[in-house]
């Protein structure tokens, strides 16, 4: 445990930020799982509804810094390719 007050405060802040990041990441991962399940089930309507929500969750997560902006772009790109393949069928 730290002895200096600023280090003690930093420990508290780091824990708070860690929990916030964990929450944002789990939200977008759960949405991503739902979208991937809908793609696998060929459920076009559900995909159309969930895709904007997933994009928003990914962007929000990248904005606060829980994931890197390039990771956000990569995830959006990959899911978009899958969705476009589904809709082209």
pLDDT for 70 beyond 90? yes
Structure tokens at 29: 């991962």
Domain ranges of the chain: 5-88
Residues 10-60 pLDDT 10s: 999 999 999 999 999 999 999 999 999 999 999 999 999 999 999 999 999
Where does 5-88 sit in CATH, by number? 1.20.58.110
* 16-51 as b/e: b if 16+ CB within 10 A: eeeeeeeebeebbeebbebbeebbeeeeeeebeebb
CA trace torsion 62, 66, 67, 73 (10° rounding)? -10
| Mean pLDDT in residue range 57-83 | 97
| Mean pLDDT in residue range 76-88 | 96
pLDDT at site 89? 82
pLDDT at site 1? 82
């Amino acid at each position: 445990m730290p002895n200096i007050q600023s280090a003690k405060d930093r420990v508290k802040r780091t824990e708070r930020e860690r929990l916030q990041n964990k929450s944002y990441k789990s939200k977008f991962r759960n949405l991503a799982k739902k979208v991937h399940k809908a793609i696998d089930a060929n459920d076009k309507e559900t995909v159309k509804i969930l895709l904007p929500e997933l994009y928003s969750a990914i962007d929000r997560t990248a904005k606060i810094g829980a994931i890197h902006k390039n990771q956000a772009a990569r995830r959006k790109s990959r899911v978009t390719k899958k969705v476009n393949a589904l809709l082209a069928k």
